[in-house]
Structure formats: structure tokens, C-alpha cells
Amino acid sequence: NAGVTQTPKFQVLKTGQSMTLQCAQDMNHEYMSWYRQDPGMGLRLIHYSVGAGITDQGEVPNGYNVSRSTTEDFPLRLLSAAPSQTSVYFCASSSGGEGYTFGSGTRLTVV
């Protein structure tokens, strides 16, 4: 079982560039979400999905887009990278109230 797979693990972007962080899960989970983790801030929710074709905004959605065309995949798009988006990004999935399974993260630096 791969669980939740995130790619890439590390990325350096220049200000203004765009990119997509990939997230895939093989557990047939309905619920998926994206968080960013910054020192002293805990995890903050960016976007989430309750099923294929359904997405919604979290606490810090500005500058990010998501789509959910399949149950397995939930990519996160940075439209025009800014230094404030330097962070560690985690994707997670769940079947409901049992708790979320997390990926190993993508460490993004925007210069």
C-alpha cells in the first residue's frame, strides 16, 4: 500500500513561476485536503475535497487552485509563486471520521 504519495519532495521556484504539486492516494478515500505547515503556525488548511468533482476553500486559499477529477488525485496549483508561499505542503486523505492519512510532504522554496 502506497497510501498518500506526494511529488515532488523538494522544489525551488522563482517568484512569479507556476507549478503543480501532485497528490495521489490508493485507498479509495472520499475526503482529501491540502495543508501548509509553517514554523509555530501548526497546519493551515488550503483547500479540501469531499469527493470527485467537489472542492472548497480552507483557511488560506489565496494563490492556490485545486481540482478533483478522480477519486485518487488531488493536485494543488500555485498560480504565481510568491516568497510568502515558501512552506512545507502536506496532502492528506480520509474515508470519514477515522482520521486522515498524510503524505510525506513537499518542501517548497520561492526565491
Could you tell me if residue 53 is left (phi over 0), alpha (psi between -120 and 50 degrees) or otherwise beta? Answer: left
Backbone φ and ψ of 18, nearest 5°: -115, 155
Q: Smallest distance from the beta carbon of 56 to another protein, in angstroms?
A: 7
Helix, coil or strand: residue 63: coil
Task: Check whether the bond before 61 is cis (ω within 30° of 0).
Answer: no
Maximal CA-CA distance, the chain: 39
Q: Is 31 near another protein (CB under 8 A)?
A: yes
- Of 19, 43, 52, 82, the one binding another protein (CB under 8 A) is 43
91 class by beta-carbon count within 10 Å (0-12 exposed, 13-18 middle, 19+ buried): buried
Interaction of residue 110 with another protein, rule CB under 8 A? no
Nearer to another protein, 11 or 101 (CB): 101
Instruction: Count interface residues toward another protein (CB under 8 A).
Output: 26
If the CB atoms of residues 16 and 53 are measured against another protein, the closer one turns out to be 53
Query: CB-wise, 61 or 82, nearer to another protein?
Result: 61
- Residues that bind another protein in the complex, under the rule CB under 8 A: 4, 31, 33, 35, 40-43, 45, 48, 50, 56, 58, 90, 92, 94, 96-105
